[in-house]
Amino acid sequence: MDCHVLVIGSGGAGVRAAIEASGYGETILVSKTIAGKGGCTTMAEGGYNAVLREQDSCEAHFDDTMKGGAYLNDPALVRLLVDEAPERMEDLLRWGAVFDVTDCCEVAQRPFGGQRFPRTCYAGDRTGHEMMLTLMDRLAATGTEVLQEVTIVHLFKDENTVAGALGIDRHGELLAIRSDRTVLATGGGTRIYDISTNSSSGTGDGYALGFRAGADLVDMEQVQFHPTGAVYPYDARGRLVTEAVRGEGGILKNALNERFMVKYDPERMELSTRDVVSRSIATEILEGRGTPHGGVYLDVTHLPRAQIESKLPVMLEQFLKFGVDIREEPMEVAPTAHHIMGGLRINSDGETTVPCLHACGEVAGGVHGANRLGGNALADTQVFGKRAGEAAGKAKKRVKRIHWEEIAAQEKRLSAFYDGRVLPTTVARSLQTAMWDGAGIFRTAKELAKTLDVINHLSSLPLKAAGYSNLEECCIVQNMLITASLVVKGALLRKESRGAHVRRDVTQAWDAQGSPYGHTWQSLKVSGIETEVKA
């Protein structure tokens, strides 16, 4: 197959990129799931940050984002995010998104953590789902060809450029796609942790594909642990409990009924930034003040029932399914791996360091620094999805070749899985446990090194496909292993605590703004950490 722009990924960023790119040339969107259902956008609950009111300002949004990100963010990217988020919100509204509105017919906004103005737009607690429905409607009106349930396993290289991708469909058949420009919009990868909010597609595919194609990745150690994930029943552990619960007025208490945030951030309390709240909850639990199920209480019982029913309907429904009526009793929550702030290094057009390869959404790095503010990810998908799609679309057509040796090598890679010995799910489970234990909220060089040993060992095992439907699973587990190793290596490179990344074995004399360090970076050939001399 041949196209001008190939978009890999069908979440908010990928679909937004395809909508934009399709205006310039033939566009193919490849989705590992049924498009619109996979990814994390559709699960995003709380909201979308955009400056819409006169009392608010883009400067304030910029400052909040930089401060929340422990000043590791790329200022130029943050500038674009805050400036263009309102325009991209207008696109969504024009295309039919049904956001909550005020009595004056303005998009309603709620307070979210780390922001001085309530600027988080929302559709109840199913904001991302509303956006996905809208984007899928719009996508259908473009000429984009959607390949459903095709997993990309390799990016083709022609000289130093990316020239397309190789996919595998649900029949186990290979599919080679040649493209002028390729956009990675594969989302995040916190499925590498035992406890995670991510959907089944959050396996870090784009980090691995980009890395193997030679791209630079920055700040991969920066993994956000969302403060509030479900803790029971066991199989529901990690399920996201939206920040909107706290935005609507939910309070956190430990087993001693103490509103413990007063100890950690008396000013912002429950609406502190996610890194702070997660560490506070983790500390309460580690020091023995946790609930019987190993969490803390998140309580909304003091709120009017109607507010819970209309603003948090998904939360209400999910907890009811597990026997908890949040109108009557508190939820039990604990931190859960949620978002990877790091990712492929991009410029304002979403161009990576490999020619003809773009990235947008969670797979890209630099926008959120060391800690993402709640509500900035959905905005990120739209702002940078559009930018990447537009730049890729506007790029010139070119002569590009797929080299048969590459296909042959991939065929060999895949057929080897039929002779493997270890099931991919077995490897994935070992990896998830090791990452949670050794590269979680609190880290030390010793634990990280041990985790890296586990990853290396797991990577050496011959993965087994029992049938054609398991081939993609093997490739995906390899992606998880690469992503995990990038996270751990990044964490070893950054010898400081910054944002979501906490090194317990390092004592430092600086705060985030005074840090001598910039991004960590990793590529196939080199890796390191930027050191800046502060003026």
| Minimum separation from the CB atom of position 384 to another protein (A) | 23
| Minimum separation from the CB atom of position 315 to another protein (A) | 10
> Encoding tokens for residue 323?
């026997």
| Minimum separation from the CB atom of position 435 to another protein (A) | 18
> Encoding tokens for residue 294?
């190993």
Residues at the interface with another protein (CB under 8 A): 33-34, 36-39, 42-43, 93-96, 98-103, 105-106, 123-124, 126, 129-130, 133-134, 136-138, 140-141, 148, 170-171, 199-201, 232-236, 239-240, 313-314, 317-318, 321-322, 423, 425-426, 465-467, 469-470, 473
Q: What Cα–Cα distance (Å) separates residue 430 from each residue in 239, 434, 438, 475?
A: 20, 6, 12, 16
Question: Three-class SS of residue 86?
Answer: helix
Catalytic residue IDs? 226, 246
- Sequence-ordered list of residues with C-beta below 8 angstroms from that of 75, at least 6 positions apart, any chain: 66
Toward another protein, which CB reaches closer, 38 or 164? Answer: 38
- Sequence-ordered list of residues with C-beta below 8 angstroms from that of 367, at least 6 positions apart, any chain: 73, 74, 77, 78, 81, 341, 376, 380, 384
What beta strand segments (E) does 321-467 contain? 331-340, 343-344, 357-359, 442-443
Question: Three-class SS of residue 271?
Answer: helix
**CB–CB of 17/183 below 8 Å?**
yes
| Minimum separation from the CB atom of position 56 to another protein (A) | 19
> Helix H segments across 244-364?
244-247, 261-264, 274-286, 305-311, 313-321
Toward another protein, which CB reaches closer, 39 or 164? Answer: 39
Q: What Cα–Cα distance (Å) separates residue 134 from each residue in 110, 139, 172?
A: 21, 9, 31
Identify the sign of the CA torsion 502, 508, 512, 515: negative
Identify the sign of the CA torsion 80, 83, 85, 89: negative
> Encoding tokens for residue 499?
């944002």
Measured CA angle at 397 (ends 35, 358), to 5 deg: 50
Toward another protein, which CB reaches closer, 121 or 155? Answer: 121
Toward another protein, which CB reaches closer, 122 or 517? Answer: 122
**CB–CB of 169/1 below 8 Å?**
no
| Minimum separation from the CB atom of position 62 to another protein (A) | 27
End-to-end CA distance of the chain: 52
**Residue found under tokens 């979210």:** 112
Toward another protein, which CB reaches closer, 171 or 302? Answer: 171
Toward another protein, which CB reaches closer, 134 or 280? Answer: 134
| Minimum separation from the CB atom of position 137 to another protein (A) | 4
Q: What Cα–Cα distance (Å) separates residue 328 from each residue in 96, 231, 259, 312, 317?
A: 35, 18, 18, 14, 13
Toward another protein, which CB reaches closer, 192 or 240? Answer: 240
| Minimum separation from the CB atom of position 323 to another protein (A) | 9
Closest by Cα among 125, 138, 64, 72 to 376? 64
Backbone angles phi, psi at 65, to 5 degrees: -70, -40
- Provide the CB-side half-sphere exposure for 535 (13 A, CA): 0
Toward another protein, which CB reaches closer, 322 or 510? Answer: 322
| Minimum separation from the CB atom of position 45 to another protein (A) | 8
